[in-house]
Structure 1
């Protein structure tokens, strides 16, 4: 038996919804560590004209002074601070399956009302398998591209979101971020250091220690460390000066040079694990930056940077009158919001 076009559209939307709904939180593999971390703490935002806005406290404006007797006390009006405005952008993707492909898989699509035709059980299985195959490729492709774009600085397209490279910048004294000019807004600059002599004993650990202190001075302890292969290899070889083991005198000891699993390197700094980001290599090939991603390491405080989105919208567009196909589409409005710049740092080895 055939299936009606409206029934096919409804089934396609349900299938895509099952694949995509809450996927960023629950089902992303560890090969996308930045996206996984951001999505795990994402926040929804309601409709906004164009920007997601956050309040910035740039100074305390204190009048603190010592006084005795009739010493005059100074009063002032506290500065309300600044607002940083991050424009949301819309990420979209879509695909179609033409009716002839469906027919080649044993599924005939006919014009008619919903419920007018009823598929046989074997036809249902074939249709679900075909939809699942397309949905899985669609999901993986969308997440892969979204992860890449959340790393970049947003200049690749006028409609692109500003990502990690723009918010936690290699050159934080220039550029406008969230509507604030970093050339004058010193408080709105992230910490950074480059050209670290990674093969000099102690130099890498010393540089990381200095950047860590700068981060915690105003922003609290970073809780997410992301790094490229070259930086991780340098840290493994030259950054760790000694190894402390918690041993049990009565047990057999095992040493394994290949610590870690997957993107979890098994290497730590200040108790926070250094996570390897495999997409750094992809970004180097894509953008060829002056300072390669593979040589970078990011100290990130996830309290002060967050992903805002309006949740995924699953859409089944009406097919064109002259094309016989099932169309599927998703929309996701989002912005990556920086709430405190000097709570983060980016480092790079020479």
Structure 2
């Protein structure tokens, strides 16, 4: 039996909903670790005219002084707050399945009202399998592309979100972030160290120690370390000293390939260094002066948040002259920096 176009549209939306809402995007695999981490602490975004705005403290304006006897006390009018505004952007994606494709898979679509036709069990299974394959590939592709864009600086398009490369910048003394000019607002600069001579004994660990202290001074310990292949290889070779004294007389098994997947098994200050496979793709896409593969980010997720309004699933009405099922999603989001100097980016020479 055929299926009505109305029922097909409802079934397509239901299938996509199962993949994107009932199995949320924050359950994506660890090969896109930045998106996974951000989504694990995402903040709901109810809506705003143009920007997600946060209040930040730019100074204490302390008027502390010593006094004795009738020494006059000095008073000042304090101006300690500033607003940082991050424009929200809308990520979209969509796909269609031509009615002839469905027909080639044994499914005939008829224009008609809901429940006007009833599929056989075998036809329904075939249709469900086809929709599952389309929506699974759609979900994976959307997640990977969204993760890539959250890494970038937002200049690739006027409608792109401002991502990690701009918020935690390799040149933190320049640029306007959240409407605040970093050239004059020293408090709004992240920490950075570039061209680290990683092959020298202890150089890399020493540089990382210095950047870690800077982050601690300004908001607490980073809880997420993200790095590229070249940085991780240098850290494994020159930054870590392995000592094994336990059971000295017993036969030992040493494995140089520690870790699993993007979890490297390497740690700094008790925080695991996570390998980001997308750094290689970003190097191929952007050809940056300082390759992503040579970078490492110390991130404090308390001060870097993803705000989004959850996925909106839409079944557009097909054009009058095209026989196809159309499906699309909308996601409004902004990556919000609440404190710049709690983060650091490093790169090796």
Asked if TM exceeds 0.5, the reply is yes
**Which residue does 1:329 correspond to in 2?**
328
**1 CA distance for matches of 2:80 and 2:3?**
62
**Which residue does 2:195 correspond to in 1?**
195
Which piece of structure 1 moves more, 55-64 or 15-24?
Answer: 15-24
CA contact (8 A) 1:25 1:40 kept: no
**1 CA distance for matches of 2:271 and 2:26?**
23
CA contact (8 A) 1:24 1:36 kept: no
| Distance apart, 1:77 and its partner CA | 2.1
| Distance apart, 1:47 and its partner CA | 1.4
| Distance apart, 1:63 and its partner CA | 1.1
Matched, 1:83 2:83: yes
**2 CA distance for matches of 1:245 and 1:43?**
44
CA contact (8 A) 2:59 2:80 kept: no
Residues 214-271 of structure 1: per-residue CA shift (max 9 Å, x gap): 110011000000000000000000111x224584679763221111110000111111
| Distance apart, 1:71 and its partner CA | 2.0
Q: Which runs of 4+ in 1 moved over 6 A?
A: none
**Which residue does 2:278 correspond to in 1?**
279
| Distance apart, 1:70 and its partner CA | 2.0
Q: What TM-score do the two structures reach when normalised by structure 1?
A: 0.97
Matched, 1:267 2:266: yes
Query: SS of 1:219's equivalent?
Result: coil
CA contact (8 A) 2:61 2:80 kept: no
**Which residue does 1:129 correspond to in 2?**
129
**1 CA distance for matches of 2:323 and 2:90?**
28
1:1-350 matches, cutoff 5 A: 1-21=1-21, 23-240=23-240, 242-245=241-244, 247=246, 253-350=252-349
| Distance apart, 1:69 and its partner CA | 2.2
How many positions carry a matched residue from both structures?
349
Residues 90-129 of structure 1: per-residue CA shift (max 9 Å, x gap): 0000000010111111111111111111111001100000
**2 CA distance for matches of 1:100 and 1:246?**
68
**1 CA distance for matches of 2:59 and 2:80?**
9
**2 CA distance for matches of 1:221 and 1:24?**
29
Query: Unmatched 5+ residue regions in structure 2?
Result: none
| Distance apart, 1:308 and its partner CA | 0.3
**2 CA distance for matches of 1:13 and 1:134?**
12
**2 CA distance for matches of 1:24 and 1:197?**
42
CA contact (8 A) 2:27 2:36 kept: no
CA contact (8 A) 2:148 2:282 kept: yes
Q: What TM-score do the two structures reach when normalised by structure 2?
A: 0.97
C-alpha RMSD of the superposition: 1.4
Evaluate the alpha carbon distance shift between residue 250 and residue 118 of structure 1 in structure 2; reply closer, same or farther with a 3 A threshold: farther
